[in-house]
Amino acid sequence: MEKYIAKSSAIASRLLGGEMMIMSAADSTFFTLNPVATVIWQAADGRTPLSEIVAARVCAEFDVDPETAQRDVELFVDQLSRHGILQVSDSPFPDSVSPTEAA
């Protein structure tokens, strides 16, 4: 089953020196994302399927095989969703704007 991810509105984030810093307003959990995680975070538009993010962004930009990338991305998404930083759904988020619509 396909998954879709979107950034929570209850967070603060900032890109500093190529690393994304994220803090959850819900539990004050602070994350520093590595370059791969930053790519996933930036692609979390609520409309792009997670498998497409893995193929088009993670595998295309980093030297990783698709199976390993998919498994690692799902673990990362699960961790951030447990802290309320990412929202996960089985269908696109209706209030999200795709990158092509935003352009």
Mean pLDDT, contiguous 10-residue spans, the chain (103 residues):
92 90 86 92 96 96 95 94 92 68 44
Give the domain 4-93 fold.
Outer Surface Protein A; domain 3 (3.90.930)
pTM of this prediction?
A: 0.84
Contacts of 84 (CB under 8 A, 6+ apart): 8, 10, 11, 24, 26, 27
pLDDT at 10: 87
pLDDT at 15: 92
pLDDT at 52: 97
What does DSSP assign to residue 64? Answer: -
Q: Which two tokens stand for residue 39?
A: 């790519």
Question: Facing residues of 21 across strands?
Answer: 14, 32
